[in-house]
Every structure is written in structure tokens, then in C-alpha cells.
Amino acid sequence: MKKIDLNSDLGEGFGKYKLGNDEEMMKYITSANIACGFHAGDPLIMERSVKLAIKHGVAIGAHPGFPDLMGFGRREIKVTTEEVRDYVIYQVGALLAFVRTLGGNMQHVKPHGALYNIACQDYKIAHAIARAVYDVDKELILVGLSNSQILKAGRKVGLKVASEAFADRTYMQDGSLLPRNVKGAVLDNVEQILDRALEIVEKGTITTVNGSKIEVEADTICVHSDTPKSVEITKKLKETLVRHGIKVERMSM
């Protein structure tokens, strides 16, 4: 029986600011990537998000990003490997304290935004992240784009890794994602997203921007939490997967 995890970025508000519908998303996903205060999230939101995940039986992951609230962690900052390493240790540690305080477990770490993109392409940065995660807790799963440098680095340092695929993002021919600021980067046609998700899970392929198919390995599919249709898409995605006999469960199962 085929299985897949559904992950989503949650806890991405800050102070008075809200983002997405975390409470609803938690009903359908199996893994939550919780912001840690650098690109989004603050201590109160982190505690609330961890509580919510525990309440819904959703596996918890840290979602560390660049220290750039103004840019929501989506702008590349030219950092050193030492900076990246320490930013990851700091953020994962901060979230871990809430998780343990509330009696939960941390399942995984998935870098956010520009840090994710760089880590998928730059082995040195990927390795710095992987080492940091391993040093904090070697049982953590490192999540990254299918076939990317971060998975290679994760395996190298001895971590379990999870390959991630996107049903609602446009893929380039080389398996990378079309950057978010390019028109057409994020899909919003529900049927198309469901079809792509099924293709990913059942056939292990995805159709790229120029119409050809490439192979993708997928332990988890990322669903966005911050678009108007997020909840609807996630609900239907889960139902569709289940209807096709696919088991939807956390990546660590």
C-alpha cells in the first residue's frame, strides 16, 4: 500500500499579525512545519502552534528561516556556513523547548523559503544545516526537495531524510521550482493540483513547465496554508489520496 505525508508551514503569524488558517489545516495534514521566530512566528504563536499540533495528532517539525521578518525569509541573504549552522541550532532549540514543555516530540526540520532554496542547490549550506540538525538531535528527519543537495547532505551526516514534492508549484526541467516571484509559480486550480499529487504519489513523476515528465521521489507533499483556497485544497487532497487507496500518515511512520 502506497503512503504519503502531507506537510504544511504553520505558525507563521507574528505578534498581532495572523497568517493562514492553522486550526483548519491541522485537520487534514500529518506534519506541521512551525516557524521559529526568525522569518515569522513569535514565542506565543510557537506555543499555540505546538499545542494545536499535539491536539490534532499532527507531527511537529521546526521551520527555521533567515532572520528577515520584513522579507518573510524569502530573500536570499549571503550568509556563511557558520551563520547558517548557528541560526538553525538557535531556532530548532527554541521550538524544541516548547515541544518538550508541552509533552510532544519533534519529528523533523524543514528550512523555510530562501534558506530552503539555497539548501537545495548549495551543498555547503546544505551540509551546515544538516550538521546543525544532527548535532541538536540525530533522530530528527531532514526534509528537502526531491533529489536536491539538502537530502544528499542529510544522508551524508547520518540523518534520515524525507523527499518533498509540491503539487501546487511549477517545476523546472532540472527538478527545481520556478521561483515564487515568477508568474505561474504557484498553481491554484484545484483539479490540477489533485491530479499532480496523484501523479507524484502513484507514478513518481511530475510534469514540468515545458510539458515533459521528470521523476520525483516523494515521502511528503507540501500544501500551502496561506492562500484563499488552502483549506479546501488540503481537505480535497487528503480525501482524493485516501479514495485512491493511498495511506496518508506522518513521514516518521
Out of 4, 29, 87, 129, name the contact with its own copies by CB under 8 A: 87
- Would you say 79 or 187 has its CB closer to its own copies? 79
Q: Are 248 and 4 in contact (CB under 8 A)?
A: yes
- Would you say 17 or 173 has its CB closer to its own copies? 17
Out of 79, 186, 209, 214, name the contact with its own copies by CB under 8 A: 79
68 binds its own copies (CB under 8 A): yes
Out of 2, 27, 55, 100, name the contact with its own copies by CB under 8 A: 100
Amino acid type, 142: L
C-alpha cell at 5: 505525508
d(CA 144, CA 29): 17
Residues between 183 and 222 that touch its own copies (CB under 8 A): none
Residues between 35 and 54 that touch its own copies (CB under 8 A): 37, 40, 42-44, 46-47
**Cβ within 8 Å of residue 191, ≥6 positions away:** none
**Cβ within 8 Å of residue 87, ≥6 positions away:** 38, 64, 66, 67, 79
Strand partners, 6: 221
Residues between 122 and 141 that touch its own copies (CB under 8 A): 132, 135-136
C-alpha cell at 147: 533529489
Q: Which spans of this chain sit near its own copies (rule: CB under 8 A)?
A: 13-17, 19, 37, 40, 42-44, 46-47, 67-72, 75-79, 82-83, 86-87, 89-98, 100-101, 114, 132, 135-136
